[in-house]
Structure 1
Amino acid sequence: MEMDVDYVPAAGTEGSVEKAEVLARVTDALAAGLGEGKSILRAEYPFAPPVKNYRNYTERQCLRVFYRDGFLDRYSGTKLVHPGALRTLATLLPEDFPFHSNWQMSRTHSAFWELFPTIDHRTPVARGGEDAEPNWVSTSMLRNSAKAHWTLDELGWTLHPPGDHTQWDGLAGWFVDYLTDHPELMAEPYLAKWFRATVEVRSSLT
């Protein structure tokens, strides 16, 4: 499962300094010449070009985090649904619950953005966070995209406590049971790999 950070923010832009005030001082300094404005920007609000950092997580790594967090979006507190369960529904009900392999929004049900669980870095790697399980949290595709490189403080978000997978398992149990009863669906590689990973991770929890 591939995740990415699209942007590395400029160094020195955190803290209590009001960023709009920095730009106000830049405009004031322009009266003395462009060089003065450039100096302020470079020192206090520098531009950093976009950088893409791709990270791949196995289905088992993802599931360990999803089960740990009780299939709960740690940024919103809402329930999430197992990836295999979502794709099974899309396979069974393609007209009413469509999914496009390239995630085209015009051809993909909004549930895939709102309920599909992903791993996000609580403290972004671009901001010094570790790419390690203690810094991983479950969140929806939608909130993962919205959070991007920002910190929780910058967004005004809070981290919700994890849920309990024995109370809500994201329909993982339904997914495993349904594919067990309908093995022909294992012909779909995506479903087969999530099935195998789910069975393995569930067995390690008992």
Structure 2
Amino acid sequence: MKCDYCENSAVYTRKYSGQKLCSECFSNSIVRKTAKTISKHKMIKNNELVAVAVSGGKDSLALLKIIHEMSSSHNFRIKAITIDEGIPGYRNEALEIVEKFCDELNVELKVYSYKDLFELTLDEALDMRENEKTSSCSICGTLRRRAIDHAAKDIGADVIATGHNLDDTLQTFVINMLSGDTNKIGWMDPDTSSNSLRKIKPFCEIYESEIVFYAFTNDIPF
């Protein structure tokens, strides 16, 4: 089975379009889709500094690679920011992956920890919660968003880019629909420019499965 766009063997078939793509054409299509989303929603302006929030997972590392490639041919700059929640036996490995990947791309990385910003780790924050029904994810998510905002402002960024994909968007939509929170549905625009620092989601129109395959074919660690 050959690629629809070249003579190479196809390695991926898009179920929603029927396209058969080789690894190179598939990767190029992901880059083009990301660039199209950024352009369509006017996510990044000339001369802006983009803070790419990197966790060490496939989505954020893939986004960093693509945004880095785009920055060399477009008029904007990037820096990577990552948050250390202080989780023993877990976060150190992810931080090492991020640091190594940023070194390979020659992208400046700034690491910010809960301990430095809030004077406590995630475990300590969980121990201090007054209501046991408050989930760990809720507390971590709130602290993480605050930490990312602080980090982006600290490096002088104009925009915060996160690796949220189409699956994330659909999941949030369904949750808000089921809970009857129609106001939040209205806030799901890919570029929340009402904030002082814009938060953009360049992968918001790309399925998670495609990002996984992009990471795999481009040897992105996660």
**Shorter-chain-normalised TM-score: which range?**
under 0.3
TM-score by length of 1: 0.24
TM-score by length of 2: 0.23
